[in-house]
Structure 1
Amino acid sequence: METVRIGYARVSTDDQSLNLQLDALRHAGCAKIFTDKLSGKSRRRAGLDDALASLNANDQLVVWRLDRLGRNFRHLVDIADELRERGVNLISISEGIDTSSNVGEIIFRLMSVFSDFERNVIVERTRAGLAAAKARGVKLGRKPGLSASQVAQARQLLQSDMKMNAIARQLAVGRSTLYRYLHRET
């Protein structure tokens, strides 16, 4: 039975490019390449689901890097276990991993652990940075949709029988934002 290489590429956001990964997967001889543009944390990825569904025994799932497949150790191991049960090997181009050998399988498991560790360190640093910024008095989160003076202006316009849609347009906000601010301060 002939081995078919199926590629999978992922970027986290729409403004990122898949080109580097696609070039590497084509160069690796992938017959078909599936893609996603969303976070690796998400387990529900249409491109990945389609890639996995297209694999048969003796095929190979090829990724540019393990973190493109998933950022979570448990998810990576689940995928690898599913592939192994189906007789499919996993290849990571950048890390030089090929699970068709015992050494490749061990390297995959180690890289999965390090990938999960790296993600946890990033989360930890982000939380610490946010806490430090908050302690310094930095306002975190989304910029307010309306200032206090705009809310006062909206209340005056509402009392003068101006319609909510017109007030929202004048203040350049959505109706739901206007309603939320008007009800917040009552």
Structure 2
Amino acid sequence: MINQGLVDIKKVDSTLLVELKYSTTDNFVGKDVYGDLTRAYLQPAMARKLARANKLLAEIKPGHRLLVYDAARPNSVQYILWDALDMPARQKPQYVADPKVGSIHNFGCAVDLTVADENGTALDMGTHYDYFGPLAYPRTEQQMLREGKLTTRQIANRALLRRAMTGAGFSVNPTEWWHFDGMSRRQAKATYGIIR
């Protein structure tokens, strides 16, 4: 990744927390698919945006930091995730990008993350990372609140994350509260090469 011009996000902002979920078994695949990749990398411009989001978060909520679950992802891993997702092919792109097209992660321009408190503990967002369903959708939060499936605190925590990320120029994913794009797939593809 370094050879492709990406940077370790901790070198841009050492206060960011990193726990790459695909370097553990705590993910929807249930296995470590990253092997020796344990650092989070992004394109330099995206890493600087993320550092701005982390700074904004600390201003809004002192002592809180961003906790990164995934960043740049090799396209070879995208194939593993695509194949592991057990649902009809027409539904898969809602949750995992088709590796033939490439995820924005595959260009180093997307990040999955949450907010951690003063102790480094992730805030309660109502679902775990990689939860596939309406409970994780930002667009259905008010409905989930009315149905008693999300609490006002969980929604406030998600809003805090979105405020910091959008304030730094990231865009929200409609089906995953944890996923943010630094640019569109078309822009990423035109600007950067895919990470193999």
TM-score w.r.t. length of structure 1: 0.26
Larger helix percent: 1
Q: Rg larger in 1 or in 2? A: 1
Higher relative contact order (Cα pairs below 8 Å, separated by 6+ residues): 2
TM-score w.r.t. length of structure 2: 0.25
